Every structure is written in structure tokens, then in C-alpha cells.
Structure 1
Amino acid sequence: MVDKKFDKIYGWLFILPVFILAVVFFLIPAGMSLMLSFKEYSLLDSQGMFSAPWVGLNNYKEVFKDEIFFKSLKNTVIYSLGVVPTQLMIALGLAIICNSKIRNKGVLRTVYYIPTVTSAVAVSIMFLFLYKTDGLLNKFLGLFGVEPIGWFNSPVFALPSMMSLAVWSSVGIYMVIFLAGLQGISPSLYEAAEIDGASKFEQFLYVTLPQLKHVLFFNLVVSFIGTLQVFDQAYVISGGTGGPLDSTSTVVLYLFNSGFRDFKMGYASAIAFVLFGIIFTLTMIQKFLFKESD
């Protein structure tokens, strides 16, 4: 009995540092942000956030009337719908390759994973050089007679170019998770399918995908949350402006500019909780759909 009592105490002592960090750096800031979303507060105000006047739901009403917010939300949704399926399909394909019986699989896994651990700012700067008018991409296309394109200076090509950056830089992490899922599938399932005369494609369709369903759900949710919160790539590529013509403005970038450029911290906090509501709703919908398919 004494040993069990001390086990509980040791357990709480082990999680205490993480609990304190969560309270200090997550719960308290989230609570203060929620409070600010109902206030009119600027970083330039000398009265402090606790003395700032309450405005009720006015900040939220302003969000739903803001054309730039909806343009940023539209860009973010397009970005998510383009990046998520693309990177998950590529990640699954790379995981299948790395799980097959080929030589130097360890080298391939390392090569595919390296972009994931590279700084997002460094990757964005690299793509700025690759995609500029006299960059490597335009020089390659010039071999086929294609005129140089200012990829990140064009309202048409800026967002798709940023999407390609995101796919390249983040596909490795999802590949590793898919690879773990593939290695957890029993070989006997493939042997049974092969005895029944199933082709490789049929084995993938009726064995691999069903066994990876929960891994796919995890990757889908994490990927959607990550893309809906995209900030660093958009900030570096547009210089923090969201240009050209707000074509690379995302919700988090607009939130950042509202709070730290326009000093409207109450309004920025309202945007943050609107985004939280969108992400939470989409996550619950995905969870419901995958649960229904069970």
C-alpha cells in the first residue's frame, strides 16, 4: 500500500514540470487572449490590458464583416485543400518505397526526411531564390522556350508556389508516420491476399489502406491543423504584407499584422478564437467521418 502511494507521488512529480509549463505558456496566455477578444486594447495603450474597455462581441462582429479576413480565410482554405492531399499521397508513396525490398532504404529515408528538420524560414528563402525571375526554375523552363515568370510576384502563381514549398518541406514527417503504420501490418495478410489471387494494386486497396486508416486519420488531422495555421512561409515570401494583392495573406498572418502592426490586440485575439473554432469544427467532422466508416 505504501509503495503504491509513493508511486502516485512520483508520477505526479514527473509530470509536474510539464504541467507547470502548460499552465504558464498555454492556459494562462489562452485565457488572457480570450479576455482580450472582448476588449478594445492596443499595445500602445498605457492603461494596460486589464484596464482596457470591454466591447463585448464587437470584435467578433468586426471579424465577420472584414473582407480582408475572408480573403485570408479563402487563401488558407485553398492552401489547405491543395497541400494536404498532395503531401499525404506523396508521403504514402514514399513510405511504400522505403518499406519495399530495395537497397539503401536508410539513405532514402534520410534524404526524404531532411527537409522536415530544416528551418521553415531557410526553406522559404531558398524557394525565393529558386522561384525568382532569374532563378533556377525559370532558367530550366527557358530551355523549353517558356518566358520567365515572377512566381512570388504574381497574384496568380504566388499561392500555388507557396503550396509547393509546403509540400516539399513537410512531406517527410508524414512519410515516417506512414512507414511506421506499414511496418505494423502483418505480412500474413499480404500472403493470404496473394494466395487468393489479389494483384499488388488490390492488396494495396483492400489490405494496406484499411490497415492504415487510423494512421491516415492522424496524418490528415495534423496536416489540416498545420496548414490552417500557416504563417512563417507566408510571412517570409510576402515580406509580412500578404501580397501581391493579398494573394498570400493567411489567417494567422493577418492575425499577426492586426496585433503587432496595427496594434489591435483585441481584434487579433478575436481572429485567433474564430480560427480555433474553425479548426476544432473541422477536426470533429473528420473524427465523425472516420468513426462512421468504422
Structure 2
Amino acid sequence: MKKSSLSKRGWREAGQGYAFLAPALVILGLFVIAPILYSIFLSLHKVELIGGAAYEFRGLDNYLKVTFDDRAIIALKNTALYVAIVVPAQTFLALVLAATLNAGLKGQKFFRVIYFLPTLTSSAVLTLIFMWMYNQNGLINHILKFFNLPTYNWIGDPDVALTAIMIMNIWATAPFFMVIYLAALQDIPDSQYEAAELDGASGIQKFWNITVPNLRPVTSFVVIMGLIGTFQLFDQSYIFSGGSGGPNNSTLTVVLLIYQYAFKTLGTMGYATALAFMLAIVILIATLLQRKLSKEESLY
């Protein structure tokens, strides 16, 4: 009787637990798992949506097609270049800003707010502001002229268009990571800096030998978040080029190309879905490599 009673009680408690979980499981299934499974299905088919959905099984053809798609290769190169430059630059700038604002300067609270403001601005609005600044008669070219430096057609020149987006995003994203570094800096024991001062260490030596090593776990997190964000560059490129990825495909990214194939070209929804899965795999591999190469443990 006791075992039977305990068994019934266990089943009753399990049922109550699943009842509480049911709403979350339903939402997860409908809006996460089901779309993923449907996307896998789409990636294996040629999809026609005009006149009613029609599917033609293609197997792995959509995935193999990437190797013959010149625009996909260009988009991958642009995205890789963007990631390789923006992630290190925004990480380093965020660390330097955080260390500077944590040094006890006068008015540091005011500067923290000022530096963080770009993060609160809509990405679309920020892009439009920079497009105005990047105009041939805009603020940036006026500053370059003032210092007798060469000016550029930032938006229309294929050689500098992607660079213009890089500069904008480094400036806009570094403050967010700066706040993360600022929080981490509060946990570094003052005793380490005091011991370094007694040994005659300079400010730069303390930064490289105490601050940077202690922030390794946080830097790993910042780099991973940066990788995920930069691989998914879309809105700035779309607004800059009007959705074309121009000039001359210089701002074409993988996500923008996925959008074009999914919503601008007939019969390529399946191929766009395959590209999206391939991008997800690339992001996963890059994230795992970063975790592998980073030392997760703190030194204090």
C-alpha cells in the first residue's frame, strides 16, 4: 500500500509539473521547434509560392548550389571581412573606454551616459544619421577637408562602402560592451593594483598585466556576442544600399542575400533557407572555436 501510495503521489506531482510546463512547451513547439523543422523541409525542396505553395524535392542540391553561386561567395567574403575587422575593433575599443571611465576621472558618470547613448538609438535611425554624415557634402567629408585629408564617396564608392558600415557599427556597438566591461572591472581586487604600484608598475603595465588577464572570461563572452551579431549584419547594409547590396555588391552580406532570395526572387525560398542553415552552422562553429581558444577561468 505504501509503495502504491508513493507511486500515485509521484505520478500526481509529475502531472502537476507537466501541467505548469505545458504553456511554455506549447509556445516553444509552435514558435521554435515547428519553424525549425519546417525550415529543414524547405531547404530540401524547390518552393513555389505563387498560385499556391508547391514543393519539388531537391535533396541537398540547395546546399551544393552555394559553391556555384557567385553572389553567395561575394556575400560570404564581405561578411567574413566585416566580422574579422569589427569584432576585434569593437572589443578593444569597449575595453579601453571601460578602463578609462573606471580610472576615477571627474565626471565619469556623465561620460558613461554619453558613451552609452548610441546603444539606445534605433539601428535604422542611426544608419540614416550616418548616411547624412557620409554624404559627399556631409559632416565627415567636411572634417576631412578641414585637416586637408582626402574625401570619399562613402556610400557610392565600392571600395569604401563596407568600411563606412564598419566604422558606424564599431562606434555604435562598443558602448554596449563597454558597460559589460565596466561591471567586470568592479570585481577585480584593488590589492592587485596596489601591489603592482609598490613594484613600480606604470598604468599601461597594470592594464596589460592585471586588467586584461582578469577580464579573459568577460572578453570571451564579448567576442562570442560580437561574432553572433556581426555574422547577422542586415539592416545597415539594406538601408545603405536600398536592399541591393551595392554598389557593385560591396555591401552584400549573407543575411541580405538570404532576404533577397527569400522575398525578392521567385522559386528560391528553399535555397534561401539552405543558406540560412549554413550561416547558422558557421556561427556555431565560430562560437565553439572561440570558446575552445579562450580561457574561461578567472585569475582571481
- TM-score (norm. length: structure 1): 0.90
| RMSD between aligned residues | 2.5
Match of 1:53 in 2: 56
Paired residues of 1:234 and 1:250 also in contact (CA < 8 A): yes
Pair 1:158-2:161 in alignment: yes
Q: Give, in angstroms, the shift of residue 87 of structure 1.
A: 0.9
Match of 2:3 in 1: none
Pair 1:32-2:35 in alignment: no
Seen in structure 2, the aligned counterparts of structure 1 residues 117 and 28 have a Cα distance that, compared at 3 Å, is farther
Superposed, 1:105-120 pairs within 5 Å as 105-120=108-123
Paired residues of 1:63 and 1:270 also in contact (CA < 8 A): no
Larger radius of gyration: 2
Partners in 2 of 1:286 and 1:31 — Cα distance? 28
Q: CA-to-partner distance for each residue in 1:152-202, whole Å, 9 max, x for gaps?
A: 100001000010111111111100111111111111221222223332222
Partners in 1 of 2:293 and 2:158 — Cα distance? 35
Q: CA-to-partner distance for each residue in 1:57-77, whole Å, 9 max, x for gaps?
A: 010011122111010000001
Paired residues of 1:38 and 1:58 also in contact (CA < 8 A): yes
Partners in 2 of 1:9 and 1:92 — Cα distance? 48
Match of 1:187 in 2: 190
Pair 1:130-2:133 in alignment: yes
Secondary structure of the residue that 1:179 maps to in structure 2? helix
- Equivalent in 80, 85, 109 of residue 83 of structure 2: 80
Letter in 2 for 1:141: L
Letter in 2 for 1:270: A
Unaligned runs of 5+ in 2: 1-5
Pair 1:175-2:181 in alignment: no
Unaligned runs of 5+ in 1: none
Letter in 1 for 2:146: L
Pair 1:279-2:277 in alignment: no
Match of 1:226 in 2: 229
Pair 1:267-2:276 in alignment: no
Pair 1:63-2:62 in alignment: no
Seen in structure 2, the aligned counterparts of structure 1 residues 109 and 19 have a Cα distance that, compared at 3 Å, is farther
- TM-score (norm. length: structure 2): 0.88
Partners in 1 of 2:80 and 2:178 — Cα distance? 23
Q: CA-to-partner distance for each residue in 1:192-218, whole Å, 9 max, x for gaps?
A: 222233322222222111110000000
Q: Give, in angstroms, the shift of residue 140 of structure 1.
A: 2.2
